């Protein structure tokens, strides 16, 4: 089960990386007479650069908020359990 989850995670990461690649180029050799001509074809990114910047910044904000609340719950404001309190009546 864990192996399948890792493969799914790797697949999702590869899909995201493929979508965020800026340029993809392809080369094709064309034989014309006795000369070989190499043509280059450029394919633009799947989403524009401003959208990539927007997604990265929103991701950083979400990750920061999650990290803040986790740290607040575990480190900054730990529950006060098991503290010592003196008895209320000391045998007057």
Position 15 in a domain: no
Name the domain count of the chain.
1
Helices (H), the chain: 2-20, 49-71
pLDDT for 46 beyond 70: yes
Higher pLDDT, 61 or 4: 61
pLDDT at 5: 84
Higher pLDDT, 12 or 28: 12
Position 61 in a domain: yes
Position 12 in a domain: no
pLDDT at 29: 60
pLDDT for 57 beyond 80: yes
Provide mean pLDDT across the span 5-31.
Answer: 72
Position 9 in a domain: no
Position 13 in a domain: no
């Amino acid at each position: 089960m864990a192996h399948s989850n890792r493969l799914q995670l790797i697949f999702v990461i590869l899909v995201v990386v493929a979508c965020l690649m800026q340029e993809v180029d392809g080369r094709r050799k064309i034989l014309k007479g006795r000369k070989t001509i190499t043509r280059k074809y450029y394919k633009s990114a799947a989403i524009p650069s401003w959208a990539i910047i927007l997604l990265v910044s929103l991701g950083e904000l979400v990750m920061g908020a999650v990290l803040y609340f986790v740290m607040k719950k575990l480190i900054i404001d730990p529950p006060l359990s098991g503290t010592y309190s003196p008895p209320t009546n000391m045998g007057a």
